[in-house]
Structure 1
Amino acid sequence: MSWDTVLATAGLVVVIAPSLLVLAFCATALFTRQPSERLSARLTQAAVLAGLLASSLVLFGMLTTGNRNVIVELGEWVSLHPDETGEAYHFHLKFVFDRLSVPFVLLTFILVGTVGAFANNYLHREKGYGRFFALYSLFLLGMVTAILAGTVETLFLGWELVGLSSALLVAFFHDRTAPVQNGQRVWTVYRVADAAFLIAAIAMHQLVGGGDFAALTGEGAWPYAQASIAPGPALAIGLLLLIAAAGKSALFPFCEWLPRAMEGPTPSSAVFYGALSVHLGAYLLLRVSPLIQQSVPLAASIIALGAITAVYGAVVTRAQTDIKSALAFASLTQVGLITIEIGLGWQYLALIHILGHASFRTLQLLRAPSVLQDHQSLENALGGRLNAPKHRSDRSRLSRVLYRFAHRRGQLDGTMDRYLVTPLLSLFSGCQQLESRWLGWLAGPENGAPLDALPKTTAEASDLL
């Protein structure tokens, strides 16, 4: 058996293992009331172990053979509206193992397995134990799909699965109001990012005639490929992808959903918002890094956005009073720095930074529930306070302004509600009313619709919007 066959088979196992895990949870939900804790844990462990061994074999084979680009294709699943030349919008399932995706997918399996073992004990006898692991398996499938995606459609599929599982796990404790509201908020921000991603995918199809990343970023192994498109289209598509990455990675001004996401269980907070999901936007920018190098304004925009995010996170984290919020804004600072590195063209440094930060932040978030108890136990043993706060009365005006800014988190929530959410809701509500009147007018008075269903003047139509 040749190495090419071994690598292709191992790559297929990496993709199939999380898919079978999701199908297993779906099957148990159909035929039994709820899978047992032991079954849920064993299924997750088996899928993670199979994926980890297969991805390790792919890495070993790539190092042995010198092959830096292993492709696994599963064919064309959808083809819509072919024109006279035979061109069509199509959904081509293609997975790529290269210097970017292999380290990231190995990190995914290691952290998902570690956090899964932690969650097995942490959520013992929790009412939603089975639901947590079902959503956890969906997240694993989404991450593997997005990381290994060789086409923009495949990446969008994984992107959506990660977003859906993230929002549902934020609202995991749905018997309380706050988690549900915060889950909706996370989902709303993700929708903005998804819309930008979808527009970028359509523009990419129109520009290069398909969704293959190789057509957009150029042939060659990452990160040495050279994009062949002009700087203007590169800037347009790159800015749309930057908006998508900003929403997924909580870059400025979409920062406020990250501390809200800490309403979910600690294991999901660790693996989602400390390790993997929060870095998915940065991963997208790394994947299209040859495109970024084609446009200086695009690279400058990425650097500026990363710098603003890093400064914002560094300032706000100093005024947080709970450990999970402090860690959330600390993660924000590091993601901002990673974004700067991507904009500067330091792809390998950004990749190493992601791997190190994800591992370290996962450990911190898993330790978060017991840190306060350990701190209090140590104080009781010593008979005094540790690191007693120093009261200062000589703070400068700038210090007071920065503290007020950090304490209010820059009022990003209120600003986004006032200038983005409310206008969009008003616009869509007016469009819905206009559509209802139009449908009523089309139905005619014989079907109960009034004759004056449509606005008769421009002013009336403007009032609806």
Structure 2
Amino acid sequence: MGLSSALLVAFFHDRRGPVVNGLRVWSIYRLADAAFLIGAMSLHHLSGSGDFSGLAGQGVWPEGRVDIPQQSVLLVGCLFLFAAAGKSALVPFSGWLPRAMEGPTPSSAVFYGALSVHLGAFLLLRISPLLDRSPVLSGLVVLLGAVTCVFAAMAARVQSDIKSSLAFASLIQVSIIVVEIGLGFRYLPLVHIIGHACLRTLQLVRAPSLLKDYNSMINALGGVAERRSALEQSRYQRMYRFAMNRGNLDSILDEFVVRPFTAALLWSDRLERRWTNWLSGENK
């Protein structure tokens, strides 16, 4: 799914923007996959099982209790939380979700309205026995969801295109789902995921005509006027700049995640080419 998502983001490859955004999505997905793989290996080492049913120990989800030692629960849980943050575009990985809207509208609806954006939340649901065992880990989940919700709510209010607005609206709901999971709910987040996936898919499919209908409604109402005091205006401008820059998360991800990841891939490619050339005798 990660590869198909990145390829769909870069579908319009005749333009540079979609290709760069596809690379950004691919990089974050691979980092999340690495964290998930390390967490899964640690889980297998600690519990003796390679699936989530073994994590529950005695009983079935969500009533099962984990058999992992207490000192290891937080470490394994943080690895899975890192993977969930990357998959569901939680802070600080929130930048890739609106960039993923470069792809065709149907793929945006299916992948980023229903499937991909909920993978992290579903992963947290599956590791709920770990959350029940560690209050600190549950607190981190709630904190991450709350911070993401505030960030997405601010960014959603300043977007100029409908697909980016829907992307941040999806992020708001996903972060609320994450908070619900951290607070100990199990069936409520599951129902929330299903309902939100259906609603957001429909909205993204209808996105091309939605903005036209909205503008027609505003024009019919004569516009919307707002008045603010000088203090409110100053505070509003600072928040507006922060939201427009998306908290500078994109530049931070590019500097510390995407570029090092791309450089590592290019170095590996050059090393592989030298090795294969040496084996084939082309360097002789």
Letter in 1 for 2:78: L
Q: Partners in 1 of 2:162 and 2:18 — Cα distance?
A: 18
Q: Partners in 2 of 1:222 and 1:293 — Cα distance?
A: 12
C-alpha contact (below 8 Å) 2:28/2:258 kept by paired residues: no
Q: Which runs of 5+ in 2 are unaligned?
A: none
Instruction: Say yes or no: does 1:284 pair with 2:284.
Output: no
Flag the structure with higher strand content. 1
Higher radius of gyration, 1 or 2: 1
Letter in 2 for 1:412: L
Instruction: Say yes or no: does 1:297 pair with 2:150.
Output: no
Task: From 399, 410, 414, give the equivalent of 2:236.
Answer: 399
Q: 1:213 Cα deviation (Å)?
A: 1.7
Which structure exhibits the higher relative contact order, with contacts defined as CA atoms closer than 8 Å and separated by 6 or more residues? 2
How many residue pairs get aligned? The number is 277
Q: Sort the Cα spacing of 1:201 and 1:310 in 2 relative to 1 into closer, same or farther, 3 A.
A: same
TM-score, normalised on structure 2? 0.87
Letter in 2 for 1:242: L
Q: Which residue of 1 aligns with 2:223?
A: 387
Flag the structure with higher helix content. 2
Q: 1:375 Cα deviation (Å)?
A: 4.0
Q: Which residue of 2 aligns with 1:408?
A: 245
Letter in 1 for 2:50: G
Letter in 1 for 2:246: R
Q: 1:428 Cα deviation (Å)?
A: 7.6
Q: Which residue of 1 aligns with 2:196?
A: 357
Q: Sort the Cα spacing of 1:400 and 1:429 in 2 relative to 1 into closer, same or farther, 3 A.
A: same
- CA deviation vs aligned residue, 1:315-364 (integer Å, no higher than 9, x gap): 11111111111111111111111111111111111112112211221121
Matches within 5 A, 1:219-368: 219-368=58-207
Q: 1:393 Cα deviation (Å)?
A: 6.6
Q: Sort the Cα spacing of 1:389 and 1:163 in 2 relative to 1 into closer, same or farther, 3 A.
A: farther
Q: Sort the Cα spacing of 1:210 and 1:387 in 2 relative to 1 into closer, same or farther, 3 A.
A: same
- CA deviation vs aligned residue, 1:199-224 (integer Å, no higher than 9, x gap): 11211222122302222221322211
Q: 1:414 Cα deviation (Å)?
A: 1.1
Q: Partners in 2 of 1:300 and 1:207 — Cα distance?
A: 23
Q: 1:374 Cα deviation (Å)?
A: 3.0
Task: From 165, 168, 181, give the equivalent of 2:20.
Answer: 181
Q: Sort the Cα spacing of 1:314 and 1:174 in 2 relative to 1 into closer, same or farther, 3 A.
A: same
Q: Which runs of 5+ in 1 are unaligned?
A: 1-161, 449-465
- CA deviation vs aligned residue, 1:58-84 (integer Å, no higher than 9, x gap): xxxxxxxxxxxxxxxxxxxxxxxxxxx
Q: 1:417 Cα deviation (Å)?
A: 2.5
Sequence identity, in percent? 55
Task: From 16, 23, 32, give the equivalent of 1:193.
Answer: 32
C-alpha contact (below 8 Å) 1:230/1:294 kept by paired residues: no
Letter in 2 for 1:293: D
Secondary structure of the residue aligned to 1:293 is helix
Q: Partners in 2 of 1:234 and 1:314 — Cα distance?
A: 32
C-alpha contact (below 8 Å) 2:56/2:67 kept by paired residues: yes
